[in-house]
Each structure stands twice: as C-alpha cells, then as structure tokens.
Structure 1
C-alpha cells in the first residue's frame, strides 16, 4: 500500500525517476546571455528580440 501511495505522489509531482530524461531546448539571448524558453520571441530578462 505504501509503495502505491509513493508512486501516486511522484506522479502528481511530475517527477520522472529512472525514466528517459526530457530534452529542454533553451535559447541564449545575444544581448545579455540569459537562457530563454525555445518559443520565446523576446528575452525574459532584458526584452531584446531573440
């Protein structure tokens, strides 16, 4: 029973233990060097167009 509860908590927390890691693509702002999400059109830090 406890194992099932732990599995449920991990699932709800969206943790992936022992599975294949998810690839995350980040874009580096040419002006300030901040990493931004792949679909960003403007830098989240300085507002410069990416």
Structure 2
C-alpha cells in the first residue's frame, strides 16, 4: 500500500470511529447502525480499489 493510501485509510477509520461515537448517543438501533456501517465499508472498498 502506498503511504498516501495508508493516510487515507487512517483518516477513514478515524472518521468511522467518530461517526459511531456520535450515533451511539442518538441511534437506539445497533443493528441499523451495523448495516449502514457495512454498506459504507463495502462501498468505500470499491472506491479505494477504483
């Protein structure tokens, strides 16, 4: 992996953690959060590969 991609991935994970903390206070449905997180990650892998 190129260093630039590594930095992008680190930023994405940092944002994911912040996003999960933010929604943990508001969304009472962990399953819905997990589904949206999985959708986001699969879409992001495609965009990173592309």
Bin for the TM-score computed over the shorter chain: under 0.3
Q: RCO greater where, 1 or 2, for CA within 8 Å and sep 6 or more?
A: 1
Larger helix fraction of residues: 2
TM-score by length of 1: 0.24
TM-score by length of 2: 0.24
Larger strand fraction of residues: 1
